Structure 1
Amino acid sequence: MQDFDEFVTVRSAALLRFAYLLTGDRHLAEDLTQEALVRAHRRWHAITGDEGPEPYVRRAVLRQYLSWRRRRASTERPVADPPDGAPPGSSPDALADRVVDADEMWTALNALPRSQRAVVVLRYYEDLPDAEIARLLGCAQATVRVHAFHALHKLRSALTPVPLRRGEP
């Protein structure tokens, strides 16, 4: 069995990325990851299975996220200064467009209910099948599909430009 310190050293960055995708906030992601690791440490001797401890800790992060009671006091999103130079072969306008697109995506993801966002992250980031997502969330596979359907509908609606009406410039 893997030592807890070794597990944290090797897998904490991946766990933090997973939590960040769920929350969209680095500080909340760090809090979720830390809380899940604290809980895993308490039960480390009992965590067994063929898959190792990572699925257990990922489920703990997911459960912490779904039951998280603390919310951001503000909906403001701080944006870091743009880099000094654009990547080779891209124009400043292309870089600005990518930043705008990414901001729109994060805004749309943040607008989703927690269960829908969890399904989107588990399905498209973790690449899990509906059966596994249902097991992790403690619901039916049909519920997972409904959450995914509604989440994708909301994301498409939020990210699709509204067509102009006749006579509008």
Structure 2
Amino acid sequence: MDGNDSFREFVAGHQQALMRTAYLLTGDAHLAEDLLQSVLLKVLRRWSRLSRVRHPEAYARKALVNQYISWRRMRRTTAELSSAAPPERPYSSEDSTLVRVVMRQALLKLPPRQRAVIVLRYYEDRTERETAELLNCSIGTVKSQAHYALARLRELAPDLAPKLTELESDVREGQR
């Protein structure tokens, strides 16, 4: 198997998971595709070395998060979705589609690093150590960024507070 075949195999096996992470980070399908494409180009350029390591997807994931944060720094505008009026009806915890939409809108209002911590910790179920390695920071930074991000999410979407508490307790129970 030559290098191109092994890279194609890598992409086929990890593209969906990487795309999901990119989407959660950007909040936009088109931006997520662009982000993933730019990262896969970086991975391809280094594939001869990366294919010999145990987990090339770790490099790809770290590059994805770093590229996203870099894009956000360059793009000082925000993609906030504002609404003139609150939703007409309160939603129940059973209405998972509405919960996802509200959560996505609230995530878009977080600073890039806090959003990255929330996505890695709670959506990808990464440990604090894994998240710290991917973000190239200390475990304490991951903990504080998660704390501030969750507090901000509770401010932005008070109706999500029970869901956020549930996420936190699930992670704590798993000793992660």
| 1:121 maps to amino acid | V
Aligned to 2:123: 125
Mapping of 1:10-49 within 5 angstroms?
10-47=13-50, 48-49=52-53
Mapping of 1:127-146 within 5 angstroms?
127-146=125-144
CA shift, 1:70, in A, is 3.9
- Residue by residue, what CA displacement relative to the aligned partner does 1:111-155 show, whole Å, maximum 9, x if unpaired? 110000000011012211112211221211111111000001111
Matched positions, count: 144
Q: Does 1:67 align with 2:65?
A: no
Structure 1 gaps, min length 5: 78-92, 162-169
Larger radius of gyration: 1
CA shift, 1:63, in A, is 0.9
CA shift, 1:7, in A, is 1.5
The TM-score with structure 1 as length reference comes to 0.75
Report the identity percentage. Answer: 45
- Residue by residue, what CA displacement relative to the aligned partner does 1:36-63 show, whole Å, maximum 9, x if unpaired? 0000000100113222x21111111111
Calculate the aligned-residue CA RMSD, in Å: 2.5
Structure 2 gaps, min length 5: 83-90, 160-176
Aligned to 1:151: 149
Q: Which has the higher helix share?
A: 2
CA distance in 1, matches of 2:97, 2:146: 25
Aligned to 1:88: none
SS state at 1:139 partner? coil
Q: Does 1:103 align with 2:101?
A: yes
